[in-house]
A = this chain, B = another copy of it.
Amino acid sequence: MNDKNNSYHMELEEFRQNGYRAVDWIVDYLQNVESYPVLSQVAPGDIRKQLPPSPPEHGESFDAMLKDVSEIVLPGITHWQSPSFFAYFTANSSPPSILGELLSAGLSVQGMLWATSPACTEVETHVMDWLVEMLGLPHKFLSRTDGGGVIQHSASDATLCALLAAREQATAGQSNKQGCDGKLIAYTSGQAHSSIEKACMIAGIGSENLRLIELDQRFAMRPDKLDEQIRADMQAGLEPFFVCTCVGTTSTLALDPIADVAAVANEHGLWLHVDAAMAGTAAVCPEFRFINAGVELADSYTFNPHKWMFTNFDCNAFFVADRAALINALSILPEYLRNQATESGAVFDYRDWHVPLGRRFRALKLWFVIRHYGVEGLRHHIREHVALAQEFKQWVTDSDEFDLVVDNPLNLVCFTHRDGNEASERIMKAVNDSGRMYLTHTKLDDRFVLRMSIGQTRTERRHVEAAWQQLRAAAADRR
């Protein structure tokens, strides 16, 4: 309680001092992040048992909170921002992104309608257009055409929205009104992300109505098999409507042949969605744009700046060629949201572009990231990550104990130990338990495959080299 004005709010001068200390805390954290075990070593319940069972009746100082973050929270953190984090897919962040998130929290606006904060909508539309240019994406995704881009929470949400737009287009809006009828069929790669199946469950399509198409030797979708399956489903009286193709699958970063997949989808009149969640950022470099060959034939496209573009979660970028199809699938206009700007039709109301109504000003951090690095800066670091992965790949190839499983041109290396699954799994466990690095696995044709994903903001050659030494040492120790 602040006696002066009968208020419990934190005074602004106190906020200023605490804000400085929070910034200092982050600087310390990022300076020292290499000294912590990358993978948290706590056991289930270790964090909770240090917290008071009941909420405090009386307010506490920011000192107390910051102390608890250092002493209780930090040991329970798996350090995604560590330069030795090679697990899953990268989720890098950067100072300009943190600053954008901070200012966004300070403004705390709701951008659900253009009218509820025009800048929140317009900066977002603008930065989405910038991304189209930066990545060499087709012009039909620009806001001045019939398409446009929007920030979504995650690629899972973007894929769900693409599926819904496709569903409504296929059923002329009838699914929205009368519900689904179990006849619509969706298609994706047998290596697609679990979010595609989840979206089919959520949208009332059903996971059994999602066809996982057979793969080629490089774990990419086979367009001939897609065509075969679509024809078989049509013959069976079912209604094919949606194809999700991957620029970089989660397991191996496999690149589907988008142009060939698109040709099949287009021939049969199916919606084509391209999921480039992690790999999409690579297209900022002209030499990697081959990954998007064929995207000009897609109806929608998504990638995550919050994975590889130095922007902290959440910030997914989702583009559609026909925004009307998306809006038709998701729009509802109750009286309490009516306003002049919306009715004029001159503005975008982004709440009609996704599941939630509310939305914060996420474009700010992406705007800051692009402006801080400039396109050349982003290119520089993406090239660096890819070069490091390619060098690591060469070490694996040259090694007499590890085997390369997939020859990927980007920033993921999939490999195994020659002694088989148990050896690979034990090596993974040993390096992760050491706390000095963190990597995860996938399974491919019953092989336990290690995944080395390179893309954290502060990862340098020395970290990748140290990781390789640790993997070799763990392999040797195992004997």
Contact = CB atoms under 8 A, between A and B. Distances in A.
B54 A130 contact: yes
A89 B95 CA distance: 33
Contacts of A440: 336
A95 to B, nearest CB: 4
- What is the count of identical protomers in the complex? 2
A110 B313 contact: yes
A311 to B, nearest CB: 10
A383 to B, nearest CB: 11
Contacts of A44: 114, 118, 341, 344, 346-347
Contacts of A472: none
A217 interface: no
Given A59-B372, A368-B65, A107 B77 contact: yes
B64 A371 contact: yes
Interface string A283-326: 00000000000000000000000100000111000000000000
B48 A122 contact: yes
A145 interface: no
A49 B164 CA distance: 33
Contacts of A103: 22, 25-26, 69
Contact of A56 (B23, B101, B375): B375
A12 B30 contact: yes
Interface stretch (A226-234, A258-266, A355-363, A386-394): A355-363
Interface residues of A, number: 163
Interface stretch (A197-205, A268-276, A395-403, A463-471): A197-205
Interface in A16-56: 16, 18-20, 22-27, 29-31, 39-40, 42, 44-48, 51, 54-56
Which of A26, A76, A119 has most chain B Cβ within 10 Å?
Answer: A119
A202 B202 contact: yes
Contact of A204 (B29, B93, B131, B204): B204
Contacts of A105: 93, 97-98, 101-102, 312
A473 interface: no
A443 interface: yes
A107 to B, nearest CB: 6
A381 B10 CA distance: 13
A178 interface: yes
A334 B364 CA distance: 34
Contacts of A98: 15, 19, 102, 105-106, 108
Contacts of A405: none
A109 interface: yes
A370 to B, nearest CB: 5
Contact of A78 (B20, B116, B333): B116
Nearest to A127: B55
Nearest to A168: B201
A91 interface: yes
A416 interface: no
Given A73-B364, A336-B451, 5 more contacts: A25-B106, A179-B180, A180-B206, A198-B355, A336-B442
